[in-house]
Structure formats: C-alpha cells, structure tokens
C-alpha cells in the first residue's frame, strides 16, 4: 500500500507545483528582477499610486456594504424562511455564475447615459458609468454572495435555540444579535469578509467595462496592471501584480486561520 500512496502524493505535488507554484515563483522573480530599490520606486509611480488609492476607496465602501447585506440577508433567509427567501437565496448566488464581462455589460445597460436610469441620474448630477460609483457597484455585484455562502450554512447548523434562550433570560433583539448571533458566526463572517475583499481588489473584467479604464481617473490597480502590459511596460505591470499577489496571500492566511478557528470553536460533542 505504500508505493501507490507515495506515487499519488508525488503526482499531486508535481501538478499543483507546476500549475500554481511555478507561476507564483515566476511572479516574484519578475517583479524583484532588478532588486528591491527599483521595486520600491516603481510602487511610487504616480499612476500606480492613484490606482492603489482608488482600489482602496472602492474596497472601503463595497466590502462593508456587502458584509452588512450578507449577514442581514443570511439571517432573514435562515430565521424567517418563506417563498420570498427561497427566491432571495437563489438570486444572491447568481453572481457566481456570471462572467465579469457580462457584469460590466449589464451595469452599462442600466446606468450609462443611454441606459435605463442613466439619463435620469445625470439630471440629478450622479454619474455612475466611467466613474467611482460604477466601479463600486460592479465590485458589489461580483462579490455579493461571498459572505452569505459562509454564514447561511453555519446559521442553519447552530440553530436558534441559543437566541430563544437569551430572550427568556430577558435580552432584547439588539442585545441578542450582538451577544449571541454575531458571536456564533464571527469566524464564518471573517472568512466571508476576506473572500469579499480579495474579490473586490482583484476584479478586472467588470471594472474594465464600467470604468472606461481612464488612467489617473478611473483606473484601479488591476486595470493599471493590464494597461502596463498592453503598453509593454512589463516590469511596472509585474510590480503591481506582485503587490496584489502579496495582498491575496495575506488574505489567504487570514482565511486559513478563520477556517481553523471555525473548526475548533464549533467542534462539538453531540
């Protein structure tokens, strides 16, 4: 039994190593090709600085909105089920199966000047397409299900007996939410937040369409990377790419810790 096990292990490690490991190492190598100094100054390129700032400004709005929506919708779906919540559950999962390009397209169809709401919004001075609000909306669209998909199964498994007990002990709905409900889904929510953040800072296709890719105005970091490569500034592109990769790795570590904590906290003898 030993040899097939060893063989499988080697094959899997080789596959994962070649598919994921090699590009990752290559990315580091390409960005740090000229050493740390040039890497650092490349990071301070004005176009890139603006892109980083814009990405951060989008994340700061999109992530909290989606977390509030995600947790709220999950509570609604699990604690007060109805025909409506079943539809809600399905609709929330829709973004998972939609290509980012299509996301950009549908937002443009509604919010561009020629779109359904575009003209009306322009009259009240709100420009959505080719501007910050549009990027935020696209980011919200693509990351919408990520929190709910973590929180819903956990809420179902935990059940509502703790919350009901707390109400017999005199606690009101707000206290119950913060002392019982939120505490039982902390790590699942943290997992969802990390995934959401990763998705928001990493979105490309949808933001490409919605923002118009205008350098120094509506170009997020991902668009900046793409634009650099289109203009053969490979090195600059790789610098930005490594920055995003490092951010993803940090988020991955948080994901790993959250998954581990989730398991030990809720490990339970029947």
Partner 1 sequence: MSISLNGVTKYFGGDLVLDRVTDEVPQGSLTALLGPSGSGKSTLLRIIAGLEPLNEGYIELDGRDVTNVPARDRNIGFCFQDYAPFRQMTVFDNVAYGLRVQRVPKAQLKAEVEDLLDLVRLEAFADRYPRQLSGGQRQRMALARALAIKPSVLLLDEPFAALDAQVRAELRGWVRTLQRTLGITTILVTHDQSEAMEIADRLVVLNEGRIEQVGTPDSMYDKPANDFVQAFLGPITTLNGVAYRPHDIELCVPGLGTDATVTDVIRLGFEVRVVVENNGISSWVQLTHDEAQRLNPVVGEHVSLRARTGASVATPQP
Partner 2 sequence: MRASALITRGTAKGLAITYLSLIILIPLAALVTNAFDKGLGSFWAAVTQQESIDALRLTLLCAAIASVVNAVAGFATAWVLVRDRFPGQAILNAIIDLPFALPTVVAGVTFYTLYGPLSPFHVNITGTWIGITVAIMFVTLPFTVRSVQPVLESLNFSAEAAAATLGASPVRVFRTITLPALMPAILTGTGLAFARAIGEYGSVVFISNNLPYRSEVASSYIYSLTTSDQTNSAAAVAVALLIIALLLLIFFNVTAQRLARRRA
Restricted to residues 178-197, the positions that interact with partner 1 (CB under 8 A) are 179-180, 183-184, 186
Structure tokens that stand for 220 in this block: 């997020």
| Residue keyed to tokens 């490349």 | 42
Residue 33 engages partner 2 in binding (rule: CB under 8 A): no
| Count of chain residues binding partner 1 (CB under 8 A) | 25
* Binding partner of 89, given partner 2, partner 1, none, CB within 5-8 angstroms per partner class: none
Restricted to residues 173-232, the positions that interact with partner 2 (CB under 8 A) are 173, 194-195, 198, 201-205, 208-209, 222, 225-226, 229
| Residue keyed to tokens 């169809």 | 109
Q: Please, is 200 exposed, middle or buried when counting C-beta atoms within 10 Å of its C-beta (0-12, 13-18, 19+)?
A: buried
Interhelix angle for 36-43 vs 234-265, to 10°? 90
Residues 239 and 32: their CA atoms lie apart, in Å, by 8
Q: Please, is 177 exposed, middle or buried when counting C-beta atoms within 10 Å of its C-beta (0-12, 13-18, 19+)?
A: middle
* Binding partner of 214, given partner 2, partner 1, none, CB within 5-8 angstroms per partner class: none
Contacts of 163 (CB under 8 A, 6+ apart): 176, 180, 181
* Binding partner of 26, given partner 2, partner 1, none, CB within 5-8 angstroms per partner class: partner 2
Q: Provide the residue count of the chain.
A: 270
Restricted to residues 108-167, the positions that interact with partner 1 (CB under 8 A) are 158-159, 161-162, 164-167
Restricted to residues 95-154, the positions that interact with partner 2 (CB under 8 A) are 95-102, 104-110, 115-117, 137, 140-141, 144
Report the nearest approach of partner 2 to the CB of residue 186 (Å).
20
Residue 54 engages partner 2 in binding (rule: CB under 8 A): no
- Position among 79, 175, 260, 263 found at the interface with partner 1 (CB under 8 A): 175
């Amino acid at each position: 039994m030993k040899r097939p096990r060893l063989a499988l292990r080697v094959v899997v490690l080789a596959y994962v190593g070649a598919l994921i490991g090699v590009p990752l190492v290559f990315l580091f190598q390409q960005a740090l090709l000229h050493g740390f100094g040039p890497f650092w100054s490349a990071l301070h390129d004005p176009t890139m600085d603006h892109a980083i700032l814009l990405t951060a400004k989008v994340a700061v709005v999109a992530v909290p909105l989606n977390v509030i929506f995600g947790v709220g919708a999950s509570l609604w779906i699990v604690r007060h089920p109805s025909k409506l919540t079943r539809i809600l559950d399905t609709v929330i999962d829709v973004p998972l199966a939609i290509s980012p390009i299509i996301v950009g397209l549908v937002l443009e169809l509604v919010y561009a000047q020629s779109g359904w709401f575009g003209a009306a919004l322009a009259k009240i001075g709100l420009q959505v397409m080719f501007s910050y609000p549009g990027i935020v909306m696209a980011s919200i669209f693509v990351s919408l299900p990520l929190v709910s998909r973590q929180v819903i199964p956990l809420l179902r498994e935990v059940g509502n007996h703790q919350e009901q007990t707390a109400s017999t002990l005199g606690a009101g709905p707000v206290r119950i939410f913060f002392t019982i409900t939120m505490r039982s889904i902390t790590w699942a929510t943290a997992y969802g937040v990390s995934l959401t953040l990763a998705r928001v800072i990493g979105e490309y296709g949808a933001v490409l369409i919605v923002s118009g890719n205008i350098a120094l105005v509506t170009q997020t970091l991902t668009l900046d990377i793409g634009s650099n490569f289109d203009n053969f500034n490979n090195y600059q592109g790789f610098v930005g790419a490594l920055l995003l990769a490092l951010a993803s790795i940090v988020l991955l570590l948080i994901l790993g810790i959250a998954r581990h904590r989730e398991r030990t906290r809720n490990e339970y003898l029947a």
